[in-house]
Structure 1
Amino acid sequence: MNIDHIAVYCIDLEGMKRFFMEHFACKSNELYHNSRTGLKTYILSFPDGGARLELMSRPEVMKPLVDVFRGGFIHISIALGSKANVDAKTDELKAAGYECISGPRITGDGYYESCIVGPEGILIEVTI
């Protein structure tokens, strides 16, 4: 088991991507845009591998919040190795009383995952 990626909401998605590419030698995937929700994301990989960084933006949602919302941590993603493990962990967490807010499902960008609201409201994504 390991941390697959950490996600951060950004006000300036392109600027944040440039920052990590210029200063930390990250490589980026192509922009993912969900036209239904407005979500835009990049997944950045660091040169030495390991956990990745997901940069996320939903400008139409964030615009009215810009004065109070500065962006930041949104979820932690834990890779479990298989669909069966994702399904089992989702069931385990639901049985323990944690809310599953999505999944298990295949997302628009191809991940198999579910998202659980953990202690103190932290979002925990379990993925392959």
Structure 2
Amino acid sequence: MKIEHLAIWVRDLELMRSFYVKYFEGESNGKYRNDKKNFESYFISFGSGARLELMQMPGIIDTKNDGHQQLIGITHFAVSVGSKERVDELTKVFRKDAFEIVGEPRWTGDGYYESVVLDPEKNRIEITA
């Protein structure tokens, strides 16, 4: 078995699509739209592994996610960028582009080299080697 995709309800569908395509070299499909439900989504593929589905629909309750407080439920996802050097480089790019770094690059106790950044809607992303 494998995880096929992870879905995130978003406030700004185009902003979030652009973020994952630009910074994580994602490839987006064309926008899916269901007019009956007023639902829109994109799937972002990353070359291997699970895809990311970004979804938007009126009436979805806003959680007021601030990216700092840890809550029960899915708290982050990790994107492997292949090397320690790439983690450092990408973290610098996020900092330069004014994204919030909530975990500086470091070796974790369980053997990962990672940093943690908040995406435009304050979702936590671990960038791993």
Q: TM-score band, normalised by the shorter chain?
A: 0.3 to 0.5
Indicate the structure with greater strand content: 1
The higher-RCO structure (CA 8 Å, 6+ apart) is 1
TM, length-normalised to structure 1 = 0.48
- Normalised by the length of structure 2, the TM-score is 0.47
Q: Which has the higher helix share?
A: 1
